[in-house]
Amino acid sequence: MSLTLDDVKRVAMLARIEVTDSESEQILEQFDGIFKLIEQMQSVDTTGIEPMSHAQDVVARLRSDAVTATDEHELFQSVAPEVEADLYLVPKVIE
């Protein structure tokens, strides 16, 4: 497979990362090598092998339904870029 400049730009938009045209070209060039490496995976037949998502084969431990958190919004918002009336401010959200 070979990636195109459009792929790079589409992926950058999905990832919300601004890339200039020259950056895209550079990324595309590096992707070429990286995906050659990644493509080596296709050399093995993995039919019937169950994908492994976790390092251990254990199941979820659940927490009881209890309120354990306290109100810490002042502390959390002390590191926020912009806050007003206890709300995080962002450029206008348009639906």
C-alpha distances in angstroms, 24 versus 2, 18, 37? 15, 10, 20
Q: Using CB under 8 A, which residues numbered 58 to 77 contact other proteins?
A: 58-69, 71-73, 75-77
The amino acid occupying position 79 is V
- In the complex, the smallest distance separating the C-beta of residue 22 from other proteins, rounded to whole angstroms, is 13
Q: Which of residues 14-43 bind other proteins (CB under 8 A)?
A: 14-19, 27, 30-31, 33-34, 36-43
Q: How many residues bind other proteins (CB under 8 A)?
A: 71
Closest C-alpha among 69, 85, 65 to residue 77:
85
Binding status of residue 2 toward other proteins by CB under 8 A:
no
